[in-house]
């Protein structure tokens, strides 16, 4: 795969799969605008990519809950690289874990602002970026938006309700809606929905029929395929990459 001359925006890009995507994309010749709230780590990762001398990276401090910052990231991509070919929405996480709230309290006993954070980051963030970058993609008559769903969006979670609620919205409502809007403008939208991924060691405890969690690179490889010339006929779909977990028999 060759992404020379292509530009991607990656959110949550200072760590995890957002970073891994940026590293892979630039290794394949592309340019990337890396968005994150952690300025120090982001600057380090941008420097590492640029020192490789392949594709170029630019860092933008961006809280995906802030539409003005989202638009600033979009404008930076166009200013520096001239286009936005791929929008990859990696930023996210379960609010109770990300905000260190813990799992002891029942759902109704957790302050609502915790779940506001989860819904804003996991659903409104991708929605904001779609709204912002579609202006540019419509103008250039091309583009791809990649949403990141989750097996949790299909299974639910009786305690961390913000996360499956947001992910289900990405997997079905938002992805299909962007696809419908984008088709006349040659803009695609695809959601990639992983099962357990070894971005954290404890994800290995989440079972799959294959008996293991995914390596992060396996998820990125699928995303790169969808973004490449080989994946151009994939549009409006939620693709599960979960080791068969969604197909497994549920034990009640």
The position carrying tokens 């992805």 is 175
Q: What values do phi and psi take at 241, rounded to 5?
A: -130, 85
How many Å apart are CA 32 and CA 37, to the nearest integer? 16
Residue 190 and residue 89 in contact, taking contact as beta carbons nearer than 8 Å? no
Element (H, E) at 89: strand 86-89
Residue 163 designated active-site: yes
| DSSP single-letter state for residue 35 | E
Token pair belonging to 43: 């600057």
- Structure token digits, residue 157: 């979670």
Measured distance between the N- and C-terminal CA atoms of the chain, rounded to whole angstroms: 44
Residues in the chain, total: 252
Query: Maximum Cα–Cα distance for the chain, whole Å?
Result: 53
Q: Which of 128, 163, 172, 181 is catalytic?
A: 163
Cα R_g (the chain), whole angstroms: 17
Q: What are phi and psi of 129, to 5 degrees?
A: -65, -40
Q: So which residues are the catalytic ones?
A: 163
């Amino acid at each position: 795969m060759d992404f020379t001359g292509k530009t991607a925006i990656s959110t949550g890009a200072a760590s995890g799969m957002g970073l891994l995507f940026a590293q892979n994309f630039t290794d394949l010749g592309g340019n990337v605008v890396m968005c994150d709230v952690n300025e120090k780590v982001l600057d380090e990762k941008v420097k590492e990519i640029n020192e490789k001398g392949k594709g170029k990276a630019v860092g933008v401090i961006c809280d995906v809950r802030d539409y003005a910052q989202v638009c600033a990231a979009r404008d930076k991509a166009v200013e520096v690289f001239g286009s936005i070919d791929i929008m990859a929405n990696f930023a996210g996480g379960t609010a109770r874990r990300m905000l260190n709230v813990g799992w002891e309290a029942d759902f109704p006993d957790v302050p609502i602002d915790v779940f506001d954070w989860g819904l804003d980051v996991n659903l409104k963030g991708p929605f904001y970026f779609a709204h912002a970058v579609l202006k540019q993609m419509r103008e250039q008559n091309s583009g791809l938006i990649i949403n990141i769903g989750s097996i949790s969006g299909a299974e639910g979670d009786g305690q961390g309700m913000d996360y499956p609620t947001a992910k289900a919205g990405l997997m079905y409502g938002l992805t299909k809606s962007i696809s419908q809007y984008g088709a006349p403008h040659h803009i695609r939208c695809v959601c990639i929905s992983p099962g357990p991924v070894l971005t954290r060691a404890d994800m290995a405890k989440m079972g799959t029929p294959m008996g293991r969690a995914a390596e992060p690179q396996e998820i990125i490889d699928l995303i790169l395929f969808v973004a490449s010339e080989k994946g151009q006929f994939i549009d409006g779909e939620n693709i599960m990459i979960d080791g068969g977990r969604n197909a497994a028999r549920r034990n009640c």
